[in-house]
Structure formats: C-alpha cells, structure tokens
Structure 1
Amino acid sequence: MCQQQAEDLERLTTSYENIGMTDITFLIVNHVMGAASINELTSRVSFPVYQDDYNLQIQSKLNASIDDLFLYDRCGTLVYHLTKPESLVTHGTMQNKVLTTYLTNPCNCTPDTLSTTVGKTSNQTPTPTPSIRRRRAVAAPTTTCSSNQ
C-alpha cells in the first residue's frame, strides 16, 4: 500500500503543479521497519523521503501510525492529522483537506506570522516580502510506511 500511496502523492503533486499550485510540498517518513524499501520508495517520487530509525523515532514523536498524514499550513501549524482510510489519496478526504488548507487560512496566519515562521525555518532575519504575503499555503502531508506495504 505504501508504494502505491507514494505514487498517488507524486501524481497529485504533478496535477497541482500543472494548475499552478507549486507551493504544496509532500514528504514521506518511511517506517523504521521499512528501511529495506527506502530505495524503491525514493525512486517513485520527486519529493523528499526520510528514513525513520530507532534514534529519531519520528513516528512515535508524532503519535503516528502507518499511512497517517499530517497537513501543515503555510505557517507550519498542524491543521489536520488524518488516519487511514482518510489519509489515502484515493479516499478524497485527503485531497479536500489539502485544498482547504491551500485556498483558505484555517489557522489565521498573518503576513507577520508567516514571515517570522519563514525566518525561523530558514535561519534568516524575518522580513515580510510581497511574495511571502501572496503565498497561499505550504501543505506538507507526511506518511509513514513499512516495507510490507
């Protein structure tokens, strides 16, 4: 299932880019037990794939299960934590939540909040710029995968 979900996320990325929604970002956190499948997973997508391990314990820190999806708004605020089946691209709920986050401002980010967040993220002095103010959302769904998926 995870390999298919990765391919579905890649197709979704392409379809969003084709209609000008280029500031939506996906990433995958591969389940700690799925380390053997990391190369296969990364070959299927153009976005980042991170390998969880027993030291990082990303899945545990996020209180996540396999195929969970986390959606963050443009300010880095967690907007949705979707679990299976809602987290699957083919379910429709996930796409609806991505578009809702992209087209609206569910956490009420302001240009100052966004520029401060961007500054903290990039270790630069926060400076609001017109391009940052116009940016709709950066959605970063994260799935955790295992090798038997």
Structure 2
Amino acid sequence: MRLFLFCIFSKYFRLEDLRVKLEKEGYSNISYIVVNHQGIASQLKYVYLKSKVSEHIPVYQQEENQTDVWTLLNGNKDDFLIYDRCGLLVYHLGLPYSFLTFPYVEEAIKTVYCENKCGNCSLKTLKDEDFCKNVYLATEEKTTEAPQPHHHHDHHHHRHHHHHHHHGHQHLGNGHLSEHPKPEAPDAPEQPPPSGLHHHHGHKGHQRQGHSEN
C-alpha cells in the first residue's frame, strides 16, 4: 500500500521537483494526484495544466454534474491534503503553508511517511521500517554533532517553543477536516505566519460551499 499525497493545487510546476527530490532521498511509493477545479474555466485549462506536470502526477478533471471533490474534502485552491498508508488524513495544509518554496509540505510528507500519527498502520513494510529507522538515526547524529548554543545571562527576551499534542488531523492555513491525531507542526519560519495554526475536531462529511476557481 502506498502513502497518499492528495493535493488540491493550481501551481503544479514545483511539484515534480519535490517528487524527484523525495524519491532520490528514498521516500518511495508516494502517490500524487492533482484535482482540478470543477468550473468551466478550469476545465478549459485541463490540457494545458496536464502538460505542466510529469506522467508520474495524474491530473483529475471533475465532471460538472458530479459531486464537487473540493467541497467534499473541504479543500480550497492551493491546498495539500496528505494521507497516510491506511488512507487517514494527517495534514491539511492551506496557504501560505502550501507554497512549495516553504518547507512545510516536504516536512509534512516526511513526517507522515515515517511516523504513525494516526495510530499504527499495518501497511508499513519492513523496507519502510528500515528506511525510517535510518532516517531517525541520521537525524540523531546531526543533533548530537550540532554545536551547542552559548548561554548568555542578560536581559534579552528568550524565545520559547511550545509543542501541543491534540486529537484530530492537523490543519495549517485555510480549511478544516477529519478526526485523527494531529502531528506537531513543521518548524515555523522566523517570521510569524500570516495566519494562525488551527486545530479542528472535525466531522467527516463536513462541507464548506463557495470554492473559487481564482
């Protein structure tokens, strides 16, 4: 069984670069799919958009008369929805966190790949387990080798990082969803993000109307 990355995303151009990078690092068997908007304007751009991604990333075009996938999954333009091997939603990243120039999407994929954020998934293979063990050991080595910061006794303000554990999937940016244990957020940039970190105890089937193509 594969680890699923499901993205509702209009800017596909960097997605292939990320796919190749992760594959070279050993993160294999990740499925990517782009869901195009249901509107007429988006349908007219389907062939063009499909030409902008590789054959490894299918672009799904919705029919006008079907139930809108964006609405069903509570997604907005430029959102990433990341599922684990067992099909459980772990991350829902919206703007600005879904910009691929930021590290959030990549770090979220790596977290879902190796950590059981939604409980133990029996579909992780022994090969995956060995790979993730090596990733963990490499991270530990880097942490051990990193120079320790100097401690200054002065009157400067000190930054405190708080990690909160919640139940339900994690949502960053604009949006909602699901009911599975939330992973901690990937480390935030030095600048505070434009929108806050939102935690939801959502319900399956919750819908939000009015998704724009623009």
- Please, what TM-score do these two structures have when normalized by structure 2? 0.50
Distance 1:106 1:57 in 2: 28
Kindly tell me the number of residue pairs found equivalent between the two proteins: 120
- The within-5 A match list for 1:127-138 is 132-135=125-128
- 89 and 14 in structure 1: CA distance in 2 versus 1, 3 angstrom threshold: same
Question: Is the contact made by 1:75 and 1:109 (CA closer than 8 Å) also made in structure 2?
Answer: no
Deviation at 1:39, TM superposition (A): 1.0
Output the CA distance in 1 between the equivalents of 2:18 and 2:212.
18
Structure 2: gaps spanning 5 or more residues: 1-8, 130-210
Q: Secondary structure at the match of 1:26?
A: strand
Gaps (5+ residues) in structure 1?
115-130, 137-143
Pairing of 1:71-110 with structure 2 (within 5 A): 71-110=82-121
TM-score of the pair, normalised by structure 1: 0.70
Structure 1 runs of 4+ aligned residues shifted over 4 Å read: none
Shift of 1:145: 9.1
1:125 alignment counterpart: none
Determine if contact 2:85/2:121 at 8 Å carries over to the other structure: no
Higher relative contact order by CA 8 Å / sep ≥ 6: 1 or 2? 1
Q: Which has the larger radius of gyration?
A: 2
- Over the aligned positions, Cα root-mean-square deviation in angstroms equals 2.3
Work out whether residues 83 and 91 of structure 2, in 8 Å CA contact, stay in contact via their aligned partners in 1. yes
The structural deviation recorded for 1:67 is 0.8
SS at 1:14's partner residue? helix
Offset at residue 61 of structure 1 (A): 0.7
**Identical pairs, percent:** 33
Deviation sequence 1:120-149 (CA, Å, 0-9, x none): xxxxxxxxxxx845446xxxxxxx994x5x
**Equivalent residue of 1:90, what SS?**
coil
Structure with the higher fraction of residues in helix conformation: 1
C-alpha distance in 1, partners of 2:103/2:26?
20
- Are the counterparts in 2 of residues 6 and 45 from structure 1 also a CA contact under 8 Å? yes
